[in-house]
């Protein structure tokens, strides 16, 4: 059985990015992404995401690697079970020996290494990583992973209990932030969170049209729009949107999904949805580390 290299660090205090780092401070710049340089991560509170993660969801990240000399397996996403020795409930990690590889962990077990020729974690090349989870009739989950527009992993009937554990992007960190390791190095351009299982066609559309959330009549035939996959009402399933398009560095990552719903990215009027709930994330770093906002984008 294969195991990732884990270096657990006990943290006596975690400081916000604005209090201890060298983030870019040019007030006249327009940023498009964040640059994780090791020692930093994004954290989403379990109170905001648990209900969605326990049901049907799709999580999408436009992410790139970066040159780095360490042998630690770097984290794309992780959820740790703080009540059970901080075991990995769900984790995606950059493989330490394959530049084109992603290691998958479920219920603290190494499951599979995905090797995809589109990936090169040593370079600033953005790829779309999509995780979908469908709730089965017995309460277990059917999980799929896509790289760009290609399904690369599928496993059914997995008993995964998220519990009251935070969702982490870019590091292996527990909810209380008493351990932190396996930090990502690279850029994140955008994160999207949906309370539905996106179809293969929708994921392919997002890959080809990276700036769009749903299709307009110019993008796809009217027939397909009427059938439902690309209707404006699909925006009602968008529960989290973090684009990092800021004019000033900030430690608070504001959710733009409600704003997007009000603006309506679709071809018609804004859809009528239930009340929109914003999910805000926070950027943390280890003392002495830094996260930068960047103009680099897709």
CA dihedral 245, 250, 252, 258 (to 10 degrees): -30
Domain boundaries, the chain: 15-294
- What's the whole-model pTM score? 0.87
- The closest of 125, 137, 134 to 52, measured between CA atoms, is 134
Distance of CA 109 to the CA centre of its chain: 21
Per-residue pLDDT tens, the chain, 298 aa: give them. 343 433 333 333 333 433 333 444 445 578 999 999 999 999 999 999 999 999 999 999 999 999 877 778 999 999 999 999 999 999 999 998 999 999 999 999 999 999 999 999 999 999 999 999 999 999 999 999 999 999 999 999 999 999 999 999 999 999 999 999 999 999 999 999 999 999 999 999 999 999 999 876 566 554 444 444 456 778 889 999 999 998 888 899 999 998 887 765 444 555 678 778 899 999 999 999 999 999 999 8
CB 64 within 8 A of CB 125: yes
Backbone angles phi, psi at 257, to 5 degrees: -65, -40
Q: Per residue in 142-161, is it b (16+ CB within 10 Å) or e — as a string?
A: bbbbbbbbeebbeeeeeebe
Domain 15-294 architecture = Sandwich (2.60)
């Amino acid at each position: 059985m294969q195991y990732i290299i884990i270096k657990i660090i006990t943290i006596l205090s975690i400081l916000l990015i604005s209090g201890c780092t060298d983030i870019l401070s040019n007030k006249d710049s327009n940023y498009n992404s964040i640059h994780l340089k090791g020692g930093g991560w994004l954290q989403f509170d379990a109170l905001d995401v648990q209900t969605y993660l326990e049901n049907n969801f799709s999580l999408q990240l436009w992410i790139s690697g970066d040159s780095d000399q360490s042998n630690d397996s770097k984290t794309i996403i992780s959820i740790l079970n703080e009540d059970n020795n901080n075991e990995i409930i769900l984790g995606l990690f950059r493989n330490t020996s394959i530049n084109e590889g992603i290691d998958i962990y479920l219920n603290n077990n190494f499951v599979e290494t995905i090797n995809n020729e589109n990936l090169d974690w040593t370079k600033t090349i953005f790829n779309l990583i999509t995780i979908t989870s469908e709730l089965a009739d017995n309460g277990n989950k059917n999980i799929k992973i896509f790289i760009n527009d290609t399904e690369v992993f599928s496993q059914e009937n997995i008993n995964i209990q998220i519990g009251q554990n935070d969702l982490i992007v870019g590091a292996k960190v527990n909810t209380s932030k008493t351990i932190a390791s396996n930090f990502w190095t690279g850029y994140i351009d955008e994160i999207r969170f949906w309370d539905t299982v996106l179809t293969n066609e929708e994921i392919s559309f997002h890959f080809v049209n990276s700036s769009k959330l749903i299709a307009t009549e110019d993008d796809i035939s009217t027939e397909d729009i009427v059938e439902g996959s690309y209707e404006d009402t699909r925006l009602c399933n968008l529960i989290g949107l973090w684009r990092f398009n800021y004019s000033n560095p900030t430690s608070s990552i504001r959710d733009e999904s409600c704003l997007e719903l009000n603006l309506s990215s679709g071809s018609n009027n804004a859809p009528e949805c239930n009340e929109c709930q914003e999910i805000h994330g926070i950027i943390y770093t280890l003392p002495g580390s830094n996260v930068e906002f960047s103009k680099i984008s897709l």
